[in-house]
Amino acid sequence: MADIIPNISIDVALFGFKGIKLEVLLIKRDKKPEMDQWSLPGGYVYMDESIKDAAKRRLKELTGITKLYLSQIALFGDTNRYPTRRLVSVLFCALIKPEQFKLIAGSDAKDVEWFKVSELGKLPFDHNEMINTAMLWFKNEIWREPIFINLLPQKFPLNQMQNLFTQFLGEAIDNRNFRKKVISQELVEKLNEKTKGGQQRPAFLYKLKRTI
């Protein structure tokens, strides 16, 4: 069980949403190369473990969560993507509700934290490209399989959902059309509750009718 595949790694882009800006989980590296830099959490694959199982394991180590939507997005195989040796990496993405778990900085991380996707600086290796690839992938999937709904809390106003969609699509959405669409597709169900404590008119809360 201790043996790892020497030239393959996995990286996990874990997205979360707390109502305003889409965020991605980064760890502060506690090993070389790129010691102390913030980067996507990665990991190796054991010899007797499938690639996907390695990603699941890594995700569990980070969040404690086991049952989760996890999708293989792309393969990064350029010769020079990793400085010290030839390493091919498989990118996985997952979407979580940050409220549901507590971050755990594993043995190879000094720290772990959420960063707003729109405010990221330069990350080590090809990790910026990985995040861009993931965002593009979500953008293409967004109406085919609205998996991003896993990011939303149990109850939420529709404007929050629309805000989330907007960030994936990278462009404005007409709110009337948006409401019609999510209701006609039976993605959401209206509740008899409203938001409280805002400075403006309270909004009805909705819950998801589907899970993926």
Partner DNA sequence: CCAAAAGTGTTCAGCATACACCCATGC
Partner DNA sequence: GCATGGGTGTATGCTGAACACTTTTGG
Distance CA(136)–CA(24), nearest Å, equals: 14
Stretch that binds DNA, among 27-35, 94-102, 126-134, 169-177 (CB under 7 A): 169-177
95, 92, 88, 168: which is closest to 125 by C-alpha? 88
Distance CA(32)–CA(29), nearest Å, equals: 8
Q: Which of 66, 79, 199, 211 binds a second copy (CB under 8 A)?
A: 79
Q: Which does 177 bind (CB under 5 to 8 A by kind): DNA, a second copy, none?
A: DNA
Residues 16-55 that bind a second copy (CB under 8 A): 45, 47-52
Q: Which of 35, 72, 106, 191 binds a second copy (CB under 8 A)?
A: 72
Distance CA(110)–CA(58), nearest Å, equals: 16
| 203: exposed, middle or buried (Cβ count in 10 Å: 0-12, 13-18, 19+) | middle
Q: Which does 97 bind (CB under 5 to 8 A by kind): DNA, a second copy, none?
A: none
13, 12, 10, 14: which is closest to 151 by C-alpha? 14
Q: Which does 79 bind (CB under 5 to 8 A by kind): DNA, a second copy, none?
A: a second copy
Q: Which does 198 bind (CB under 5 to 8 A by kind): DNA, a second copy, none?
A: DNA
**Residues found near a second copy in the complex (CB under 8 A):** 5-8, 45, 47-52, 72, 75, 77-79, 86, 88, 90
